[in-house]
Structure 1
Amino acid sequence: MARYALVLGIAKYDNFTNLPKAVNDAEHIAQLLREQGRFDVQPLPGKLIESENRWQITPDKKLTGKELGQALRIFLLEKAKGAEALIYFAGHGFEAPSLTGEAKGYLATSDCNKDGQNGIAFDDLNTLISKSQLSSLVVLLDCCYAGSLLERSFINSGFSVFNSKQDYCLITASRAFERAREDAEGGIFTKAVIKGLSEDKADETTGEVNANDLMSFVSRELKGSGQEAIYMGGGRSIPLVWYSAKNQVAAAVVSEESPYRGLQAFDKEHAKFFFGRQKVVSLIQQKLTQANFIPIIGASGSGKSSVVRAGLIPVLEKNGWRILEPILPGVQPLAELKRAFTQLFERTEIREISALIDTEGLSTVISKLTGSERCLLVVDQFEEIFTLGSQEEERQRFIELLTQVSQGRLAIVTTMRADFLEYCLNYESLTQLIQEQAVYMPPLLGAELEEAIASPANLQGYQLERGLLGTIQQEVVGQEKGCLPLLQFALTELWEHRDQQAYQLTVVKYKELGGVTGALNRHAENLYESFTEQQQDWVKRIFLKLVRTGAQAKDTRQWQAKTKLLSIAGENRDEQQVINDVLEKLIKERLIVLDCELTGEVWVDLAHEALMEGWERFAKWRKTGQKLRRLRDQIEDALRIWEEEPSDENLMMGGLLAKVQEIWSELESDLDPAAREFYQQSDAQEKQRKTAETFYKIHLSENSA
Structure 2
Amino acid sequence: MEHTGTSGLSGPNCRAVVVGTGHHQAGASLSSLPSARRSAVDIAATLHTACGMEQGNVELLTDPENPTEVLAAVERAIAGASDGGVVFFYFVGHGLLGPGDLLYLATSASSVPDSTVHAVPYAEIKNQLSEAAARSVVILDCCFSGLAEAASPAQRSDPYASARPAGSFLLSSASHYAVSFAPKGQTHTLFSGELLRVLTEGEPGGPVRFTLNDLYRHLDHRFQNSAVRPHADSAGRMGDLTLAPNPRYTPAPAFLPPPPEDDGTHCPYPGMRPFLPEESHLFFGRRQLTQVLVDRVTDAQAVGPVVLVGPSGAGKSSLLRAGLAAADSVGPVLLVPAPGPKPFQELVSRWSEAVGRPFAEVADALGTGNFPASADGRRAPRVLVVDQLEEIFTQCEDAEERDLFIRAVATASRPGPRVVLGLRADYYGHCLRDSRLSRLVLAGQFTVPPLTDEELGEAITGPAAQAGLLLEDGLLDILLHELRLEQGGMGHTTALPFLAHVLRATWAGRWGRRLTVSGYHATGGIRGSVAQTAHTLLDSLDPAERPALRALVLRLVRVVDSEGKAVRRRVRTGDLIAASTDDGQRDTALLGRLVEARLVVVDGGWAQLCHDSLLYAWPALRAWIDVNLEAMLAHRGLAEAADTWDASGRLPSGLYRGSHLAAVRSRIEDAEDVLELRGVEADFLAASRSAQWRGT
**TM class, shorter-chain normalised?**
0.5 to 0.7
Of 574, 585, 590, 1:577 maps to 585
Report the counterpart of residue 320 of structure 2 in structure 1: 308
Aligned equivalents of 1:595 and 1:284: distance in 2?
Answer: 27
Shift of 1:292: 3.6
Preserved contact between residue 564 and residue 629 of structure 2 (Cα < 8 Å) = no
Shift of 1:253: 7.2
Matches within 5 A, 1:443-592: 443-480=450-487, 481-500=493-512, 503-551=513-561, 552-567=563-578, 572-592=580-600
Shift of 1:367: 7.5
Matches within 5 A, 1:321-400: 321-346=331-356, 349-351=357-359, 353-358=361-366, 360-363=368-371, 365-366=372-373, 375-400=382-407
Cα deviation 1:255-289 (Å, max 9, x = unaligned): 93211001211011111000011233233224322
Report the counterpart of residue 682 of structure 1 in structure 2: 688
451-460 or 615-624, which deviates more: 615-624
Aligned equivalents of 1:542 and 1:374: distance in 2?
Answer: 37
TM-score (norm 2): 0.58
Cα deviation 1:292-347 (Å, max 9, x = unaligned): 411112222211110100011111xx11512124342122222211121111334x
Report the counterpart of residue 613 of structure 1 in structure 2: 616
Report the counterpart of residue 638 of structure 1 in structure 2: 641
Shift of 1:448: 0.4
SS of 1:366 mapped into structure 2: coil
Preserved contact between residue 445 and residue 477 of structure 1 (Cα < 8 Å) = no
Of 291, 314, 323, 1:282 maps to 291
Letter in 2 for 1:493: A
Task: Please state if 1:431 is matched with 2:431.
Answer: no
Report the counterpart of residue 212 of structure 2 in structure 1: none
Number of aligned residue pairs: give it.
Answer: 432
Identical pairs, percent: 27
Shift of 1:572: 3.9
Q: Taking structure 1 as reference, are residues 632 and 277 closer, same or farther at Cα in structure 2, changes over 3 Å only? A: same
Preserved contact between residue 330 and residue 383 of structure 2 (Cα < 8 Å) = no
Letter in 2 for 1:562: T
Aligned equivalents of 2:420 and 2:447: distance in 1?
Answer: 13
Report the counterpart of residue 669 of structure 2 in structure 1: 665
Aligned equivalents of 2:393 and 2:271: distance in 1?
Answer: 27
472-481 or 645-654, which deviates more: 645-654
Letter in 2 for 1:595: D
Report the counterpart of residue 39 of structure 2 in structure 1: none
Q: Taking structure 1 as reference, are residues 564 and 371 closer, same or farther at Cα in structure 2, changes over 3 Å only? A: closer
Shift of 1:633: 0.5
The answer to which structure has the higher helix fraction is 1
Preserved contact between residue 336 and residue 385 of structure 2 (Cα < 8 Å) = yes
Shift of 1:505: 1.2
Q: Taking structure 1 as reference, are residues 471 and 249 closer, same or farther at Cα in structure 2, changes over 3 Å only? A: farther
Matches within 5 A, 1:150-299: 251-252=249-250, 256-288=265-297, 289=299, 290-299=302-311
SS of 1:378 mapped into structure 2: strand
Cα deviation 1:165-187 (Å, max 9, x = unaligned): xxxxxxxxxxxxxxxxxxxxxxx
Q: Which is higher, the Rg of structure 1 or of structure 2?
A: 1
Q: Taking structure 1 as reference, are residues 479 and 357 closer, same or farther at Cα in structure 2, changes over 3 Å only? A: farther
Aligned equivalents of 1:327 and 1:284: distance in 2?
Answer: 18
Aligned equivalents of 1:464 and 1:253: distance in 2?
Answer: 10
Q: Taking structure 1 as reference, are residues 294 and 250 closer, same or farther at Cα in structure 2, changes over 3 Å only? A: farther
Report the counterpart of residue 595 of structure 1 in structure 2: 603
Aligned equivalents of 2:330 and 2:429: distance in 1?
Answer: 36
CA RMSD of aligned residues (A): 2.7
Structure scoring higher RCO (CA < 8 A, sep ≥ 6) equals 2
Letter in 2 for 1:612: L
265-274 or 404-413, which deviates more: 404-413
Shift of 1:356: 4.0
SS of 1:274 mapped into structure 2: coil
Letter in 2 for 1:630: L
Aligned equivalents of 1:369 and 1:563: distance in 2?
Answer: 33
Preserved contact between residue 321 and residue 375 of structure 1 (Cα < 8 Å) = yes
648-657 or 442-451, which deviates more: 648-657
Q: Taking structure 1 as reference, are residues 299 and 462 closer, same or farther at Cα in structure 2, changes over 3 Å only? A: same
Letter in 2 for 1:584: G
Report the counterpart of residue 205 of structure 2 in structure 1: none
Preserved contact between residue 389 and residue 637 of structure 1 (Cα < 8 Å) = no
Preserved contact between residue 327 and residue 336 of structure 1 (Cα < 8 Å) = no
Letter in 2 for 1:430: L
Report the counterpart of residue 110 of structure 2 in structure 1: none
Preserved contact between residue 463 and residue 505 of structure 1 (Cα < 8 Å) = yes
Letter in 2 for 1:391: D
Letter in 2 for 1:337: L
Shift of 1:561: 2.5
Aligned equivalents of 1:526 and 1:532: distance in 2?
Answer: 12
Matches within 5 A, 1:410-421: 410-421=417-428
Cα deviation 1:525-546 (Å, max 9, x = unaligned): 1111000111111111111111
Letter in 1 for 2:669: S
Shift of 1:624: 1.7
Segments of structure 1 that go 5 or more residues without pairing to the other structure are 1-204, 207-245, 597-601, 693-705
SS of 1:361 mapped into structure 2: coil
SS of 2:603 mapped into structure 1: strand
Preserved contact between residue 632 and residue 667 of structure 1 (Cα < 8 Å) = no
Preserved contact between residue 368 and residue 407 of structure 2 (Cα < 8 Å) = no
SS of 2:345 mapped into structure 1: helix
Q: Taking structure 1 as reference, are residues 451 and 664 closer, same or farther at Cα in structure 2, changes over 3 Å only? A: closer
TM-score (norm 1): 0.57
Aligned equivalents of 2:661 and 2:466: distance in 1?
Answer: 58
Aligned equivalents of 1:674 and 1:372: distance in 2?
Answer: 39
